[in-house]
Structure 1
Amino acid sequence: MSEPLPADRPERLDFQPAPGLTKLLLRNFFYGLLTLGFYRFWARTNLRRYLWGAVRLQDEPLEYTGTGRELFVGFLIVLAVFIPVSIVYAGVQLFLAGDVPALAALDGLYFILLSLLITVAQFRARRYRLSRTLWRGIRAGQGGSSWVYLGRSALWLLAAILTLGLCLPWALADLARYRMQHSHWGSFQGDFAGTANQLVRPLAWVWVVLVSLSVWSAYQFFTLPDGVERLAHFYKLAFTGALLPIFFIYFQIVWLRWYIDGLRLGPMRFKADFSVKKLFWNLALGALGLLVVIGILGMLFFLTMGAAAAIPKPLLLLVFALFVPVVWLGLRLGYYYLMFMPALRRVVLGVAVIGMEAALQAQQAAPDQMRSGEGLADSFDVPL
């Protein structure tokens, strides 16, 4: 457990991104295009160094010391494991061809296995990122067993299925506590003080709304004969599915504030006071702006299609070949400038650290021996 918390003045995080984000994103994009995506490991490393350096505490920036080579080696290791697994999975599918119940069971098992592996990927990625994160020259880190974390995640996933997600607050609290109790910054050991009860209320109303909208409509859709009424319940189910990303974003913001409030590092603790509603609307407006960008790009595409008869065929092929990269670049820039960076700024500026006087007593810990990158996380393209 953490030491008693000192009652000194909180120190706020600061967010000071250096100039050149557009140049960095453009360079990463064009190098990735020229190398057919091979540059992605170095692109991700460059972006992390930029973002880590933008976060400051007492005017000292965070440092990221990871390398693209480490990420690439980790990817190769996992690729060597997953190619045989994928071949076996495809072979079993061919063997069970025509057996619909068996194929459904196989797909369900594969989905559960994939979910658990992604959970472990996130655990391993967190360990790697912490081991490459420094502040004032003192390195962070994470220990713990990936197998133990996998076992806990599997048990909580089973409980979530049996309780229709009602146990999620306790699952999140337990897994967060395991991660933090095996984390450190220098000689300061981590801990987590958040409780499941703090998440029950925000999750409860989300659960009630989704269940109210979906259960009755699903029952009616599967029991009513074909007709207008059955079709209406299908549209209600589709509407509920469209709401899922909105509820997911809302709960992620609530979870993030809860998680930051629960963080402990030796005598240091963290306090988040950013507004959940304001951050949600920031993301919503950013997403709306991104949709406008998509609409403009789509309009340009249809205008090109309309003028296709008047454009020479070689030039038309060139336009289509360039259209997909241009769309991807537009979405990439729009995402960072309309959603990611504004949200990151609001979160960082809304965090304070209590107990900074004791931070001067922290000493360097032994370096993490992790020599390769994130592996599973990169294979599944776990976000930054």
Structure 2
Amino acid sequence: MKILALFFFFLNLFLFVLFTALTIIRFTLYPHTWISILHHTTLSLYMCCFPMGATTLINVAVEVINVDYGFGGPGFLYFIWAVWWVDVAISMLCCWGVVHIMTTTHTHSLQAMTAAWLLPVVTLTVAASSGGVLARALEQYSPLKALISVAVAVFLVTVGLTLALMIITIYLLRLIVHGLPPGHKILSVFLPLGPTAQSGYAILLIGQNFKSLLPLDHGTSEFLRSGSAGETINTVCVCIAFLLWSLAVMCIVFALLGIHDSVRQTRFPFMLPFWGLVFPNGVFANLTINLSVTFDSSFFRVLGAIYAIATLLVWIFVASRTVALVYDRTIFVESMDDDNSTAKHEPLPSSATSMAG
């Protein structure tokens, strides 16, 4: 499993660096595409996947490469910690910045809404989970830095989850009033798994870290020096994590029912939005497996393993289809069209569409 994790890590790292470099080159050669993408009601949301992609690298770099294999020691861990702070800053910029652009620049309607509205805010919950992973590794070197990381993670997951629950409520209203999203947009029904399951994982890690870091043996804070504070916080966090897991299960049932109903009525070809099936289902499997350890539950352990394998199979399917489209170059002319993709400013050039996709 560790070898498989390393394979995906280096593949992930290669693709992340490659497409980051290509994006920088594109924005340098065609600076107008940056503004055009920001004004596009769909592509501006998917741009927020950038910091979330970085957190997958951070988590594996810490847990597998640094902790399990001991690579780099504390120096490498502090380097990853610094990268995490940059990722936190970008995540905040995506959350507040893109949501602000949505309210001031875009033209949205309830009927055209999809769960992609969650992408700007889920960046915070994803960054919070990496904070919990880092804090667990930092504790042996600097309990203070670990505590700071956990405190920032609490802030991030609080803001991200609060905004996400607001948007999920609006999304449910949209489904009840206007029905399921048409065509390939139905694939977005899995996106609510992102903030619910990932927030549950982040909160679970937060509780474990507070249990380990508290009580403090210095300072004058009665709360932080309390012998029961860590245990209490951990108990509350486990309960919240299970609550969010239950909410994620509800989202899965609605998503499967929605896709089943949509596929019965219409067919649509493979396209880039299929990648939206991987991350939300992956984080649900991750939360389920971690809950199996917390509860020492065979049910959660087996369910998490089955769901993780299913997610891997989905990834293999989507990746193979993507490679095929790259080979015949059709993926580069595909347009992530959106019925509500008109902005109050200039339209999006075709070159920007292919790049952002």
Relative to the length of structure 1, the TM-score reads 0.26
Structure with the higher fraction of residues in helix conformation: 2
Give the structure, 1 or 2, with the largest relative contact order (CA under 8 Å, sep 6 or more): 1
